Amino acid sequence: MASWLDAAGIDLIEISGGTYEQPKMANLEGIDAVYDPTISKSTPEREAFFARFAPEIRRHVKRAKLMVTGGFRSLKGMAEAITEDGVDLIGLSRPLCLYPDAPPRTIARRTRRI
């Protein structure tokens, strides 16, 4: 589907979905949703929920920009997705609700985690 969108001239394709606690949104059948209130904060292991799909999609998308949204909380996680996974943009979504100044603060390295 991503290659069709790219061929049609779409400018941006966003890779996103549900949450770590809702694995069916990531097409992971047979895995039950897990909710544990003791791990509600993002951890490095849970950061960038959908970045792992970017390299495969990038192979089929040549023109459109790729954006990944979901779970990014650290400058390190964002930088790795951009440099290693072929991602062009990071979607912050929920963090911006609480921290609308997060992008300039992160770029200026005044904060390392959102």
Average pLDDT for the chain: 80
CA dist., res. 81 & res. 48, Å (int) = 8
Give per-residue pLDDT as tens, 67-77.
999 888 888 88
Q: Residue 18, class by beta-carbon neighbours within 10 Å (0-12 exposed, 13-18 middle, 19+ buried)?
A: middle
Q: Residue 12, class by beta-carbon neighbours within 10 Å (0-12 exposed, 13-18 middle, 19+ buried)?
A: exposed
pTM: 0.71
For residue 5, give every residue at least 6 positions away whose Cβ sits within 8 Å of its Cβ, in sequence order, or none: 13, 61, 64
Q: Would you place residue 43 in the very low, low, confident or very high pLDDT band (cuts 50, 70, 90)?
A: very low
